[in-house]
């Protein structure tokens, strides 16, 4: 009877180790897939897409943190590399969007400046006419 309990305890321990190992690897695999997704499609993401991506990254980060003390040095290096890819994709996309926004604002300012110049000329003309009366 004691042998059965011991065998059952050993089997439970092995199963829990297997499940923990699977969870660790699953979080790394999720991060790897996520980094690839951002690299491939991040430039086309909308603000809403990036918001969802940020939430997903935080969920993956939470899963990674749960098992942080169980990762090997090599796994930790890989996690860092993958996180770097995610941050790089975000920075690249942000830079492209910023460039586009700055360009758009610049063109709008050019248009506004032209209108203000025209309005100033008209105002000068009106003031000259009133001054001559």
Instruction: State how far Cα 49 lies from the chain centre.
Output: 9
pLDDT of residue 2: 57
pLDDT of residue 38: 92
User: Does residue 110 belong to any structural domain of this protein?
Assistant: no
pLDDT of residue 4: 56
For residue 21, is pLDDT > 50? Answer: no
Domains in the chain: how many in total?
1
**Relative orientation angle of helices 2-41 and 73-132, to the nearest 10 degrees:** 30
User: Does residue 72 belong to any structural domain of this protein?
Assistant: yes
> Would the CA dihedral through 68, 71, 77, 83 be positive or negative?
negative
Percent of residues, the chain, with pLDDT higher than 70: 78
Domain coverage including residue 51: 2-96
pLDDT of residue 117: 80
pLDDT tens readout for residues 52-110: 998 999 999 999 999 889 999 999 999 999 999 998 888 877 777 777 777 778 888 88
User: Does residue 10 belong to any structural domain of this protein?
Assistant: yes
């Amino acid at each position: 009877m004691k042998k059965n309990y011991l065998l059952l305890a050993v089997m439970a321990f092995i199963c829990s180790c297997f499940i923990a190992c699977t969870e660790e690897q699953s979080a790394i695999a999720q991060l790897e897939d996520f980094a690839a997704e951002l690299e491939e499609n991040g430039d086309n993401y909308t603000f809403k897409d990036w918001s969802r991506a940020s939430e997903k990254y935080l969920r993956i980060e939470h899963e990674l943190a749960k098992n942080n003390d169980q990762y090997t040095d090599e796994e930790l290096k890989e996690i860092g590399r993958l996180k770097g890819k995610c941050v790089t994709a975000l920075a690249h996309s942000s830079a492209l969007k910023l460039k586009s926004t700055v360009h758009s604002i610049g063109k709008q300012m050019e248009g506004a400046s032209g209108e203000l110049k025209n309005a100033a000329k008209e105002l000068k003309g009106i003031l000259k006419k009133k001054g001559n009366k």
